[in-house]
Amino acid sequence: MGILPIRIAGDPSLREKAKRVRTIDASVQKLIDDMIDTMRAAPGVGLAAPQVGRSLRAVVIETPDDGLLTLINPEVVKASGERRLMEGCLSVPGYQAEVTRHRQVTVKALDRDGKEIRLKAVDNLLAQALEHEIDHINGILYIDYLQSADELIPVRPSVDDEEETEAEVSLA
Ligand code: NI
């Protein structure tokens, strides 16, 4: 298990435009494994490399319906429709807020074997996670979409199980 510390909003690594992965070598494979462990331990629906302090365009996502996905150099190639969604982020602990996301999102990327993949997500958690994580590798946090900090809703941890409460809202 390689659980890495997650950078919190205010950390400059979250604000860089991350670099393209040129070669999916052993160090990238190790980073992906550690990101998966870190995402699952948090727990969260996704994690992007800048959240663990690495300026690379690498993302992991895991949803109940779509399973585990590793995306290298992902790009949104098409996005349409709008919906309002409650969102949280492992790098903004303790809060959630409503944001506008696209209903349909098409992404192209490489998988961890370097094979080209194309994903189309419609009206589901994957669509939201794809946009959220690709924002991360561009240095964008969901809180950037808010008009004011007043829109942030504190997540009240339950008395007996704080982690479970966090899990429901910490998208990525
Ligand atoms: Ni996030």
pLDDT score for 166: 45
Q: Residues 17-27: what's their mean pLDDT? A: 98
Instruction: Specify whether 133 is catalytic.
Output: yes
* 25 CA → ligand 1 middle, Å: 25
Neighbours of ion ligand 1 (CB under 5 A): 89, 172
Which residue in 21, 48, 18, 26 sits closest to 142, CA to CA?
Answer: 48
Edge-first strand listing for the sheet containing 153-154:
83-87, 95-101, 153-154
Cα gap 96→88, rounded to integer Å: 5
pLDDT, greater one: 66 or 163: 66
Cα gap 125→82, rounded to integer Å: 14
Query: Whole-model pTM?
Result: 0.91
User: Which is the catalytic residue, given 133, 151, 162, 164?
Assistant: 133
Q: Residues 13-41: what's their mean pLDDT? A: 98
SS (H, E, C) the chain: CCCCCCCCCCCHHHHCCCECCCCCCHHHHHHHHHHHHHHHHCCCCEEEHHHHCCCECEEEEEECCCEEEEEEEEEEEEEECCEEEEECCCCCCCEEEEEEECCEEEEEEECCCCCEEEEEEECCHHHHHHHHHHHHHCCCCHHHHCCCHHHCEECCCCCCCHHHHHHHHCCC
> 12-157 in CATH: which number?
3.90.45.10
Q: Residues 123-143: what's their mean pLDDT? A: 98
pLDDT score for 165: 45
* 67 CA → ligand 1 middle, Å: 18
Answer whether residue 20 shows pLDDT above 90: yes
pLDDT score for 160: 55
